[in-house]
Amino acid sequence: MIARPSEVVVITGASAGVGRATVREFARRRASIGLIARGPDGLEAARREVEAAGGRALVLPADVADAAAVEQAAARVEDELGPIDVWINNATTSVFSPIKEMLPEEFKRVTEVTYLGVVYGTQAALKRMLPRDRGTILQVGSALAYRAIPLQSAYCAAKHAIQGFTESLRCELINDRSRVHVTSVNLPAVNTPQFGWNKSRLPNHPQPVPPIYQPEVAAEAIYFAAHARRRELNVGMPTVVAIYGNRIAPGLGDYYLGWQGYDSQQTDEPIDQHRPTNLWKPVAGDRGAHGIFDDRASATSPQLWANMNRGWLAVAGIAGLACAALVGRKG
């Protein structure tokens, strides 16, 4: 599925990680992209990548926790790039810490960025898409929206909130008979720079809970979901196991993560207690899409391939059964 050259896309959290990989995925199709993030270095690097690929880029330094800033960014996109076709809510932050050690202002900040940033982005997109009766809003979700883990309570709670908010929105769009589409892409553990700059009280360096995937896997899923009109798309078998396993045996998940969830989120290396963190302000420099776990991250997901091609697989399955039936009759 190929986006038309005139497609206008807004991506929050566009300067690094999954957002940066998603920028590259759309840029390869020469889309016009509004780049929203706080970090000027990563934004400028992303702009250069988009233009080198033949697309157009508009740098929009903004904190998604600021509703007015998000609205102003959306207005600039429409003024300078054209009507928004796809809005991708991706920006996030987290704190690695036991709840008993979290500060009230940390809970507030993670909620404002990770949850309310999605709310403000969605409202800015709806303001423009609803009158045209077209467009797609994509929420970058997580397996943790369904199965929370220890040490990231604020982040998990925000992802749960996004899920509830999005379900309410779907119902309202159906009631209004709107052709504006909303979809969610639930990600597994991804090798992004966030584990190097999120605030942490852990003794060792934070890591994604293995198995780990490269951000390009997430970007491929996001691009597909932005055009496939699926309700949601689960990425990676660990995401499927987490979501459906929690429905079947949530208590078992509590105990398993209670015993394993601390060690699985840390490497064996002590953390640098003086490293810069991005909770309150962006970290300087261009961090790109990848984190430090390239040697442990998978660049492919058979589950995602099967999910994206489920229609063809169903046809092949039916054809196989028909052939088997014919062979059986002849035998």
317 membership: H or E segment, kind and range? helix 310-330
- How many C-beta atoms lie closer than 10 Å to residue 90's C-beta? 28
Q: What is the DSSP string of 283-304?
A: PSS---S--S-GGGEES--HHH
Whole-angstrom CA distances from 94 to 64, 114, 119 are 14, 8, 17
Q: Give the C-alpha separation, 97 to 152, whole Å.
A: 6
Whole-angstrom CA distances from 189 to 23, 158, 209, 237 are 19, 17, 6, 11
Per the listing, tokens 């250069």 go with 48
Cα radius of gyration rounded to whole Å, the chain: 20
- The per-residue b/e assignment along 232-263, b for 16 or more CB within 10 angstroms, e otherwise, is bbbbbebbbebbebbeeeeeebeeebeeebee
Task: Kindly list the catalytic residues.
Answer: 155
104 membership: H or E segment, kind and range? helix 104-110
- For 156, phi and psi rounded to 5 degrees? -60, -40
